[in-house]
Amino acid sequence: MDAVDMIAAAGFEVVEAANANEAIGILEALGIAETDLPEGRRFLPKPCSPTDDVAVCET
Protein backbone atom coordinates (compact mmCIF):
# COMPACT_ATOMS: atom_id res chain seq x y z
CA MET A 1 0.00 0.00 0.00
CA ASP A 2 1.45 3.37 -0.99
CA ALA A 3 0.70 6.85 0.36
CA VAL A 4 -2.07 7.47 -2.19
CA ASP A 5 -3.81 4.24 -1.20
CA MET A 6 -3.47 5.03 2.52
CA ILE A 7 -5.03 8.48 2.20
CA ALA A 8 -7.78 7.30 -0.17
CA ALA A 9 -8.63 4.38 2.12
CA ALA A 10 -9.14 6.91 4.92
CA GLY A 11 -11.86 8.57 2.83
CA PHE A 12 -9.98 11.51 1.34
CA GLU A 13 -9.95 12.52 -2.34
CA VAL A 14 -6.40 12.14 -3.62
CA VAL A 15 -4.77 13.90 -6.56
CA GLU A 16 -1.56 12.12 -7.47
CA ALA A 17 1.54 13.75 -8.99
CA ALA A 18 4.71 12.00 -10.14
CA ASN A 19 6.98 14.85 -9.06
CA ALA A 20 7.06 18.43 -7.79
CA ASN A 21 6.74 19.98 -11.24
CA GLU A 22 3.64 17.93 -11.98
CA ALA A 23 2.18 18.85 -8.58
CA ILE A 24 2.71 22.55 -9.26
CA GLY A 25 1.07 22.13 -12.67
CA ILE A 26 -1.94 20.46 -11.07
CA LEU A 27 -2.29 23.25 -8.50
CA GLU A 28 -1.99 25.89 -11.22
CA ALA A 29 -4.58 24.11 -13.40
CA LEU A 30 -6.96 24.04 -10.43
CA GLY A 31 -6.34 27.74 -9.83
CA ILE A 32 -4.86 27.10 -6.41
CA ALA A 33 -2.00 29.36 -5.37
CA GLU A 34 0.36 28.83 -2.46
CA THR A 35 -1.54 31.52 -0.58
CA ASP A 36 -4.72 29.43 -0.93
CA LEU A 37 -3.22 26.54 1.00
CA PRO A 38 -4.07 26.39 4.69
CA GLU A 39 -1.77 28.09 7.13
CA GLY A 40 0.15 25.44 9.02
CA ARG A 41 0.13 23.03 6.08
CA ARG A 42 2.30 19.99 6.68
CA PHE A 43 4.85 18.10 4.62
CA LEU A 44 4.45 14.32 4.72
CA PRO A 45 7.99 12.94 5.06
CA LYS A 46 9.11 9.58 3.74
CA PRO A 47 9.07 6.81 4.66
CA CYS A 48 5.32 7.10 4.98
CA SER A 49 3.60 6.05 8.17
CA PRO A 50 -0.07 5.24 7.53
CA THR A 51 -1.13 6.37 10.99
CA ASP A 52 0.83 9.63 10.92
CA ASP A 53 -0.13 10.56 7.35
CA VAL A 54 -3.85 9.99 7.90
CA ALA A 55 -3.70 11.92 11.20
CA VAL A 56 -2.15 14.90 9.37
CA CYS A 57 -4.94 14.83 6.78
CA GLU A 58 -7.61 14.71 9.48
CA THR A 59 -6.36 17.90 11.14
* Tens of pLDDT, residues 3-59: 788 889 889 888 888 888 998 899 889 888 766 667 776 666 677 677 777 777 777
pTM above 0.85, yes or no: no
Query: What is the count of structural domains for the chain?
Result: 1
What distance in Å separates the CA atoms of residue 20 and residue 2, rounded to the nearest whole number? 17
Are the CB atoms for 12 and 3 separated by under 8 Å?
Answer: no
Domain residues for the domain of 26 are 3-58
What distance in Å separates the CA atoms of residue 58 and residue 38, rounded to the nearest whole number? 13
What distance in Å separates the CA atoms of residue 54 and residue 6, rounded to the nearest whole number? 7
Which region holds residue 11: left if phi is over 0, alpha if psi is between -120 and 50, else beta? left
